[in-house]
Amino acid sequence: PPYSLTGRLVWASPRIDAQLEVRYVADQDRVTTYELPTNDYTLVNARVSFKPLEDRDLRLFVEGRNLTDAVAREHASFLKDIAPLPGRSIRGGLALNF
């Protein structure tokens, strides 16, 4: 597999947490005769969560994955030439631990 590098910044407080992650995956051009090379890509992901009630373990969150909408293909995947990794996605939710 190609080499990769991931960097992450995390900020946490009692009520708000934030995370930013950048992942770079190098191209892979050392292939056998039956393989196709794979281009490099960079994924940017982010997440913010908020705890609205101090005495409850309840969190509201919003997160985005592949925020730059990069075309990314996992070199080791059998489906890399058919289906790339998912494009940009943003979702929000509510998490309750009990």
**In this predicted structure, what is the pLDDT of residue 35?**
83
**In this predicted structure, what is the pLDDT of residue 98?**
82
Q: Cα(73)–Cα(76) distance, rounded to whole angstroms?
A: 9
DSSP per residue, the chain: ---EEEEEEEEE-SSEEEEEEEEEE--B----TT---B--EEEEEEEEEE---TTS-EEEEEEEESTT------TT-TTTTT-PPP--EEEEEEEE--
Q: Across all residues in the chain, what is the average pLDDT?
A: 93
Mean pLDDT to the nearest integer, 6-18: 96
Q: What is the pLDDT of residues 25-50, one digit of tens each?
A: 999 988 888 888 899 999 999 999 99
**In this predicted structure, what is the pLDDT of residue 47?**
98
Q: What percent of the chain has pLDDT over 90?
A: 68
